Amino acid sequence: MKDTIRVLKDKKLRHKERYTPLGYQYVIADNINFLKKDDWNEITKNKSVFMSIAYLQVLDAFSPENTEQRYTLAYHDGKPIAAFVFQLAVIGGEQLVLPDKKLKEKVVKRYQERVLVCGNLVSNGLHGIAISDELSVEQGWRIAAELMYRIRRGEKINGSVNFALVKDLNEAELEASMVMERYSYRKIQTDPDMVLHLTKRCDSFEDYLQLLTSKYRNRIRKVIKTLQQANITDQQIVDLAPYEAIIHRLYLQVEERAEVRPATLPEGYFSALAKAFGERFCCSIIKQDNEIVGFVTTIKDGDIAKGYYVGFDAQINQKFPIYFRLLQLVVEHGISMGCQVISFGRTASEPKTGLGAKPFSTFVWARHRLPSVNFIVRKLFRVIPYEEAPDRNAFKKQEG
């Protein structure tokens, strides 16, 4: 009986917390240029590069057709204390599953939802929240929950927003954000992030290969040799503008084959990103007889090299190991950037483990007002079931 009373009291308290303003001041903008740049930079200067003004200006200029940006600065006594990046996305059934899969075509065409995302649908990581060191982490997450409620209510003029998401959190970030449960968000585990930790400092790709066991080292060398024998070469490019059209076509080949494609980037995004990021951005292309058949991009985010988007000719990839070489090039990029940690992102865990990557759990927070939204959440983030990465160790045992 006491437990029941305690639960009811806590439920009442949580309801009160959800609908009681925290007492901070907010500025909400549709474009990053509408906010005070100095205030934004003060909060985000040591955070992810995906929260930098340089990146967000690119995202504003080349936003996916089905998304709109929202940016917020939170203030206390006139001083900025937190910054947030949100996206409003219209997601239809055709973006969640291929027509020949589980959903009938009729259902695919009829299903559509508006989603509020704290973060970014075209990046992998927690890129929606930055908190001042003067503010407690818990209070920062409370502000995030209040802002998501405010934006959802404010957007009713454009149609209902049926569910809200916070993406993507690692285990430490999840633990720090557990107060979101008090706002009726539930945590959902997604596909793991595949991360390569170099066991020693590497100054070249050859240094990296020497860290691997002969089995995995020989596999990588075989891929390179196979491509060389087929006159398939790779090169790193700096100015992407002359290659933008073909890069975008190759990106779409991969994007259109994916079961989950919540937001598709427009042409021009990659060359704009390269220009904005400079040395923090790498792109390599793969050629067969001078025709570009693949590309991969990598972004330096703090001390981590993040494999970003990849594209390749599907037919040629069936004949030659193009995709495997693109993953190897991410490692080359990371080493050239001086990084010892390289994130390959989600999916395709099998070939990534062969490079030495290990799975790290990732999560989203989801809050929905309709039971039917459970379905779209599962489809959108492929969480039931999520992909289990093979248990492998490609590195030699370290002496001592």
Distance between CA 394 and CA 375 in Å, rounded?
37
Model confidence at 319, pLDDT cuts 50, 70, 90, reads: very high
Lowest mean pLDDT among 6-10, 149-153, 154-158: 6-10
Of 48-57, 127-136, 364-373, least confident by mean pLDDT is: 364-373
* Cβ atoms 108, 97 nearer than 8 A: yes
pLDDT at residue number 384: 41
Helix (H) or strand (E) holding 258: none
195-to-328, 332, 347, 385 alpha-carbon distances in Å = 13, 14, 12, 20
Q: What does the pLDDT average to over 382-389? A: 51
Contact assessment for residue 390 and residue 216, using Cβ atoms and an 8 Å cutoff: no
pLDDT of residue 385: 44
Cis peptide before 168 (omega within 30 of 0): yes
User: Cα–Cα distance between 338 and 207 in angstroms, integer?
Assistant: 13
Average pLDDT, rounded, for the chain: 88
- Residue located via tokens 């309801």: 15
pLDDT band, very low/low/confident/very high, at 383 (cuts 50, 70, 90): very low
pLDDT band at 375 (very low <50, low <70, confident <90, very high): low
pTM over 0.85: yes
